[in-house]
A and B are shown apart, each in its own frame.
Chain A
């Protein structure tokens, strides 16, 4: 892959960058505007009714302490995905600083000044408009500034629930390990926070004579900025698609859909934690997922056939250090006991039990082995120990457990499990540095993430599963002195999915069908 600097990346992605920035500004200001509408009167009210102030400040304080990602999580069952829950969450975050500063600003005014105003014959509204609000204005503005900066920050999380914003780049960049992409999201959002804070500081210190003007200016700015969100929003489509940030940035993802299938489905970006549920709830129609994810079964989704083969095969197989195979001669045979035994639907079912029914990976692994007649009671162990690794998700835990049981049942080797090793890089480095002896890896990951082949090689070797496997096996042996054992059988590849019912109603079985349907 050719090296690209940040600037080149930003220029190349400028339309996305502009759209995300506009969405970000929009999210920030819609929520800020709504918060102003509620928080200002509320702050004024509790300044008049001190008895209510601990209650109101307490509740808005509690809202503030809910971690933002959790707050977004709470919103999904109530409000689904998209702009509504995102704005609601941001709105709730903006309340406290504005309410508290309005309250503090007004109650902080010298009581004798208020008394003078009343004694001069001003009524409640005149005292509020001529005396209290102007004098509390700098403090209230400080609260609005705080709320704005908080909202710019929290709005990055909106990308998790398909509400857009600069978080799309940030989370995509994290998922793809692309520093440029992370920075393309992080720098504009940081600049946005600084810029908005600076602009509001100008308003804060504005001449009090122009106060009326300034007060009207704030909602006007909010409305103007708000509209940017809706202008930049996606248009009506026949089917609504939601892809993970990672999928959005991969050649074997959205980019491949665009270039190979010419499929421009205008997806929203969404975290995979909520994506499947959103599809089930009909908030989304087409999603990007993993071929053996348990939620396929839980939510009755079907995979669309990748008839042009843009998703490289992700067949799982044990990846073992050559040294370990020499040290434990019996190991290869035992690990190959699983070869070809688990197909996609079996793996999906196993994942479903762990991820959705919350059974323990050990239990699920044992049940499977018993049923497949591979289970044997553990033999008394000798002094040698095999170290098994796994990445940090259910399928890997299950596989690691199965291998552990097979080794204990068929050899006199001890087993030490080092599961939950984060992502691919961490797991692979552990193997390379002789901290583990083997772990289950996927051919596609080995190919794309660890080998970084050239474009020509890539298109050559992804034609079929066999060619990918052979290429990876050969290269790993040569480069890393590691051996890919026989594939287990299932293919946990990227896939597009739809609800089973909708897929059959619309007769969409493959990605080409989908393209045809959208072009009608």
Chain B
């Protein structure tokens, strides 16, 4: 877990980050979200002391980091950079092996770990093991960057706009792979992004920042449906509907959906874990159809355009 208390950083006496506090439980993903220059990257870099705060404390797993040598806990903290920054004079394997080597792992163990990570990140151990970073595509490079951060099995992962340099297709494919990887599931992750979509996709908790301060922190739902200020609602305004649909699972609407239906042409079974956006997509592509939703208790509900909109409106009213 990570606890940050009253972090402040001044540049030329002007605060870049002022008085920031948050806590992230073990295994949670937190996203630092905001526009450029809002202090989110500075905040991230203060966690592993790449930038030393002028005041405030950082606790990693209940240890005050300022009482330790930064080199020590940096090795236990994975770090992924926006521009990837692989070491150009190291092979792929050597890049991945950097931290294990610093920790003094034995050669076989390092080799084994490199192979394992290459495979997990959908790179070929045969083809990619001993080539140099410049021989890889951008997407492959960032996969190696992720492998490098994960190599020594850190409990914490810091990611500074890790997908910022990639094209949308590559980005989507890497995110999909990450979502399926065990390596990421139990990690406490702090991720910096300015991409609202990405933030909602990956976050257990979002921390929205502006001008060096936290404007609101909480679950995606809280930010979306209970904005703390006009700034917050303004920040999501352009994508509001899409975000709301994507963040509302059918499970949340289940109680307001009808149990019966009038006529049936095509019945399509969907999982209650799918969101409203996906439900609409299925209805639209297939035409005159009805969705069949079965919850864990075995109960069935039926939905078409009208009933989904109705249920969503009612759901929103309960939140407000």
Contacts and interface: CB of A to CB of B under 8 A. Distances in A.
Q: Do A and B bind each other?
A: yes
Interface of A: 110, 112-113, 115-123, 126, 131, 134-135, 208
A349 to B, nearest CB: 71
Contacts, number: 52
Nearest to A109: B88
Given A113-B87, A118-B74, A120-B74, 17 more contacts: A115-B81, A115-B85, A116-B79, A116-B81, A116-B85, A116-B87, A117-B87, A119-B77, A119-B81, A120-B75, A120-B99, A120-B102, A120-B148, A122-B98, A131-B87, A135-B89, A208-B89
Contacts of A208: 89
B41 to A, nearest CB: 11
Interface in B188-245: none
B50 interface: yes
A392 B154 CA distance: 81
A121 B89 contact: no
Interface in B52-103: 70-72, 74-75, 77, 79, 81-83, 85-89, 98-99, 102
A362 B283 CA distance: 115
Chain A CB within 10 A, most for which of B75, B77, B83, B89: B89
29 contacts: A112-B82, A112-B83, A112-B85, A113-B88, A115-B50, A115-B81, A115-B85, A116-B85, A116-B87, A117-B98, A118-B50, A119-B77, A120-B74, A120-B79, A120-B99, A120-B148, A121-B70, A121-B71, A121-B72, A121-B74, A121-B75, A122-B98, A122-B102, A123-B71, A126-B102, A134-B89, A135-B88, A135-B89, A208-B89
B275 interface: no
A118 B99 CA distance: 11
A352 to B, nearest CB: 66
A126 B102 CA distance: 9
Contacts of B99: 120-121
B170 to A, nearest CB: 19
A112 B81 contact: yes
B102 A121 contact: yes
B48 interface: yes
Contact of B98 (A110, A120, A134, A135): A120
Nearest to B74: A121
Interface residues of B, number: 22
A116 B102 CA distance: 14
A403 to B, nearest CB: 75
Top 8 A-B pairs, shortest CB-CB distance: A121-B75, A121-B74, A119-B79, A116-B85, A112-B85, A208-B89, A113-B85, A121-B71
Contacts of A117: 87, 98
Given A112-B81, A126-B102, A119 B87 contact: no
Contact of B48 (A112, A119, A131): A119
A120 to B, nearest CB: 5
A203 to B, nearest CB: 16
A121 B99 CA distance: 7
A277 B82 CA distance: 67
Contacts of A115: 50, 81, 85
A121 to B, nearest CB: 4
A113 B145 CA distance: 12
A113 B85 CA distance: 5
A121 B102 CA distance: 8
A119 B50 contact: yes
A381 B87 CA distance: 88
Contacts of A121: 70-72, 74-75, 99, 102
B102 A110 contact: no
Contacts of A110: 83, 85
A119 B83 contact: no
A123 B72 CA distance: 10
Interface string B7-37: 0000000000000000000000000000000
Nearest to B82: A112
